[in-house]
Amino acid sequence: MSQESGPKVAGAVDAVIIGAGHSGLAMSHCLAARGVEHVILERGEVANSWRTERWDSLRLLTPNWQSRLPGFAYDGDDQDSFMTMPEVVSFMQDYAELARAPIHTGTQVTRVCAAGDGYRVETNHGSWLARSVVIASGGFNIPHRPACADAVPAAIEQYTPHTYRNPGQLPDGGCLVVGASATGLQLADEIHRSGRPVILSVGEHVRMPRSYRGHDVQFWMDASGVLDERYDEVDDLVRARHVPSPQLVGTPDRKTLDLNALTDSGVRLAGRLATIRDGRALFSGGLRNICALADLKMDRLLKTFDEWVDEQDEDPGHGLRERLERTRVDSRTLLELDLNGGEVQSIVWATGFRPDYSWLDDPVLDRKGMIRHEGGVGDAPGLYVLGLTFLRRRKSSFIHGAEDDATDLAIHLHAYLGKQRSRATTSPNR
C-alpha cells in the first residue's frame, strides 16, 4: 500500500477517491479490478473517522459475519460477536494493505472544481487532475445540533457523539440525552450506568429487537431481502434516506436495548425537545403516539420476516413467532425541565449528522447542501458519491453494503471513462 504524507504530491489520474474508509477502499478495489488508474486522498489515516470520532465503548451494530468488503471478510472465531472500534480500524487497515490501495494519507482536500473535461482536486499537498471523482467521505462528518442548543445556559456542558468519549469526562450530576436512535440509546444507557441520573428526550425512532426467532435481527434483514431493497424500488426515497438508525446495540450478551429496558433501569423519558426558552427545556406531549408508531412499524417488520419464513421449505426460526411488549410510557411524561435548577449538568446531542461538502466548488448541491445524485451517480458528469444512507440499497451505509454499491458505480465510472476517451479520439480537432 502506498501511503504518502508530508511531501508534496500531485498528478493526473483517471479517478480520485476522497476518503479511505470502508466505502473508499471498496471503490478502490473495484476500480483496480477494471484497470482504472486512481488514488485515494485521506485527510488522516485509514479509517480515520473510526479512529478519531467514536466513543470508547462503541461496537458495530452488525455481527462479524457481516463485516466484509470486496475480496475480504472477517475470518475470526466469533462470527456472531460485534467489533470494537480498534478491531474495526485493524480490519480496515488489513484490507488496505492486502489490496495495496494507492492511499495518500494526511492529505486534506480543500477544493474540488470542474477543469476541462474533468476535475481539479486541490489539497494541502498540491493538486490532482482527474477525469472523475468519487466522494467517499461519508455522511457523518458534522454532528447536527438543533438551533435551540444556543439557548442552553452557559453552566451546562454540551457534547456531541464526536466529542463524547466516556462518562468520566462528564461533570457530576444529571445528563440530558437528546435523541433516541442507536447513538442516543447507547449513550443514555452508558451514562446512566455510570451513576448519573439521565433524562432521554425521545423523538421519531426505529424500534428493533437484537434477536428474533433464535437469530440476530440482521440475519432476518439479510435473508428476507430487506437489506437488498433498491433505491428505485421504494415509494418515498427521500423519506427512506432520512429514517433514523435502528435502536440496536452490539454487546457480548446480545441484549435488546429499547426504551423499556432503559426505563426499567431508571432512565426517565421525555418527548421530543421542542425548544429551550428562558432556560427551560420544553418537550412535546406526543411521546405516547411516537412510541406507538415505532411499535407498529416494528411489528410490520417482524411480520415481513414471518411471511418470508412461510415461503421457505425450511423454517430457520423453528416456528418461534414472537412479539415484543409495547413501549411503556408513563402518564406523567416530562413536559418541561428547568435547566437552571441544577438537576442537569450536561447535555449530549445525539440528534444526527450531516456530510461536509464545504470544499466542493461545483453546482451539484441542493438547497440543503446535499449532493444531487441518482443512486450515487452525480448530476455532474464523472462525479460519484458513495457511502450514504440508502444510496443504492437499504444496506448502503453498512460496511457490507459497500461492495454492491461500489461494484455498480465502478461499472458506470469505467463506462464513462471509455466514452470520454472515445470522444477524445474521434474529435475533429485531433
Same-domain status, 316 and 415? no
- Domain stops at, among 337, 352, 367: 352
Same-domain status, 237 and 333? yes
How many other C-beta atoms can be found within 10 angstroms of the C-beta atom of residue 221? 23
Same-domain status, 132 and 157? no
pLDDT in tens, 149-204: 999 999 999 999 999 999 999 999 999 999 999 999 999 999 999 999 999 999 99
How many other C-beta atoms can be found within 10 angstroms of the C-beta atom of residue 351? 21
pLDDT in tens, 277-332: 999 999 999 999 999 999 999 999 999 999 999 999 888 877 778 888 999 998 88
How many other C-beta atoms can be found within 10 angstroms of the C-beta atom of residue 238? 8
Same-domain status, 136 and 171? no
Q: What is the DSSP letter of 272?
A: -
Same-domain status, 255 and 315? yes
- Domain stops at, among 305, 335, 352: 352
Q: What is the DSSP letter of 391?
A: S
**Domain total for the chain?**
2
The grid coordinates of residue 169 equal 469526562
Same-domain status, 105 and 174? no
The DSSP bridge partners found for residue 216 are 211
In angstroms, the CA 308 to CA 220 distance is 9
In angstroms, the CA 340 to CA 153 distance is 7
In angstroms, the CA 123 to CA 327 distance is 50
- Domain stops at, among 352, 371, 386: 352
Q: Which among 60, 44, 48, 52 is positioned nearest to 21, based on CA atoms?
A: 48
Q: Which residues contact 319 (CB under 8 A, 6 or more apart)?
A: none
Same-domain status, 184 and 245? yes
Cβ atoms of 333 and 287 within 8 Å: the answer is: yes
Q: What is the DSSP letter of 13?
A: E
Same-domain status, 164 and 312? yes
Same-domain status, 164 and 297? yes
**What's the CATH code of the domain at 364?**
3.50.50.60
In angstroms, the CA 37 to CA 88 distance is 27
pLDDT in tens, 275-288: 999 999 999 999 99
Q: Per-residue confidence at 139, pLDDT binned at 50, 70, 90?
A: confident
The identity of residue 190, as a single letter, is: E
Task: Find the DSSP H helices in 258-399.
Answer: 259-265, 287-310
In angstroms, the CA 134 to CA 301 distance is 34
Same-domain status, 159 and 15? no
Same-domain status, 221 and 294? yes
- Quick one: pLDDT at residue 430? 46
In angstroms, the CA 384 to CA 417 distance is 13
The grid coordinates of residue 184 equal 442516543
- Quick one: pLDDT at residue 429? 55
Does residue 122 register a pLDDT over 80? Answer: yes
The grid coordinates of residue 102 equal 494507492
Helix (H) or strand (E) holding 134: strand 126-135
Same-domain status, 121 and 224? no
Identify the domain containing residue 396 by its residue range: 2-141+355-426
Helix (H) or strand (E) holding 205: none
